[in-house]
Copies of this chain bind each other. A is one copy, B any other.
């Protein structure tokens, strides 16, 4: 499980340290908070906690790989996070 079969679509793959990065822009603070809340639920479910940076209308997500680098676990998380972002924006 140490090699990525297919990288997470739309995410920037960083080599050192192995991580996936993506910036999401929202049109309101309310959407930003809604996305952060959904992401927190996903973290609680998966046990994977990304580093997050946010302001009123953006969220920067960095998903760190483990000691062995990026695996399906991180890629799956990134894909699900992307789905949550889409759901948040669609809910406006």
Residues of B within 8 A of A51 (CB): 53-55
Contact between A52 and B55 (Cβ–Cβ < 8 Å)? yes
The answer to whether B56 touches A49, judged by C-beta atoms less than 8 angstroms apart, is yes
A interface: dominant SS: mixed
Query: Pick the contact of A52 from B40, B49, B50, B53 — CB < 8 Å?
Result: B53
Interface size class of A (residues with CB under 8 A): 10 to 19
Q: How far is A52 from B49 in the complex, measured between Cα atoms in Å? A: 16
Would you give the shortest CB distance from A63 to chain B, in whole angstroms? 11
Q: Considering the complex, which residues of chain A in the window 25-41 have a beta carbon less than 8 Å from any beta carbon of chain B?
A: 29, 33, 40
Question: Which chain B residues lie closer than 8 Å to A50 at the CB level?
Answer: 55
Instruction: Spell out A's residues near B (CB within 8 Å).
Output: 29, 33, 40, 49-56, 60
